[in-house]
Amino acid sequence: MTLIQKFSLAVICIALLGACDSDGEVVPPPQALTDDAIGVFCGMILAEHDGPKGQVFEKGRNAPLWFTAVRDAISYTRLPGEGQSIVAIYVHDMARAESWEKPQPDGIWIAAETAFYVVGSEMRGGMGMPETVPFGTIEAAQAFAVKHGGKVMKFEEIPNTALLPDEGENSDNIADRRPGEGLPK
């Protein structure tokens, strides 16, 4: 084996090790959102809903679980009995989205754990619910929060109360709520 072949083999091994999680499970790359992707919680076609989406990969599954809203994807990771075998979570980077209504189906996915989220903004995502809006940079998240309200947080800082709907959340008076209302100080 030549020196170049040995070097190439070493590079391939390092790349493969980098694509594994702490349990040695291969971490799949994000998938392009297809027109027939169905939301896990709502059973509806994702492409028919505004705002950012989420995809979750679990051990032993080649295809992602799709979520109509990022808020739903994060909720899934925290529900008892769900999310125990997650190997990757991807969300749209809304700083790179061409529009709120139809973020690109591919090329703007980022790892959920690295994103900066605006929680409690006036913007509504899939199913018309309040959305946890992801961004690849803190600057983009802060600019969005200034324009649309809300608070910038990292993945692990998002409180469960910001993810799960409370009573009356879909009522007619939702527009009367101030952006960020009910978030921790």
pTM of the complete model: 0.77
- Spell out the per-residue pLDDT of the chain, length 185, in tens: 544 433 333 333 333 334 444 556 689 999 999 999 999 988 889 989 999 999 999 998 889 999 999 999 999 999 887 777 999 999 999 999 999 999 999 999 999 999 999 999 999 987 788 999 999 999 999 999 999 999 999 999 999 999 876 544 443 333 333 333 333 33
CB-side neighbour CA atoms (13 Å) of 93:
17
Q: In 3-state terms, what secondary structure has residue 138?
A: helix
3-state SS, one letter per residue, for 12-75: HHHHHHHCECCCCCECCCCCCCCCCCEECCCCCEHHHCCCCCEEEEECCCCCCEEECCHHHHHH
Give me the numbers of helices (H) and strands (E) for the chain, helices first please: 3, 7
Order of strands across the sheet that contains 86-92: 65-67, 54-58, 86-92, 109-111
Rounded distance, CA 160 to CA 94, Å?
22
CATH number of 29-166: 3.30.70.2060
> Which positions ≥6 away from 48 have C-beta within 8 Å?
none
Query: Model confidence over 70-106: pLDDT tens digits?
Result: 999 999 999 887 777 999 999 999 999 999 999 999 9
Look-up of token digits 């995809």: 55
d(CA 24, CA 165): 35
For the chain, the domains span 29-166
pLDDT attached to residue 117? 98
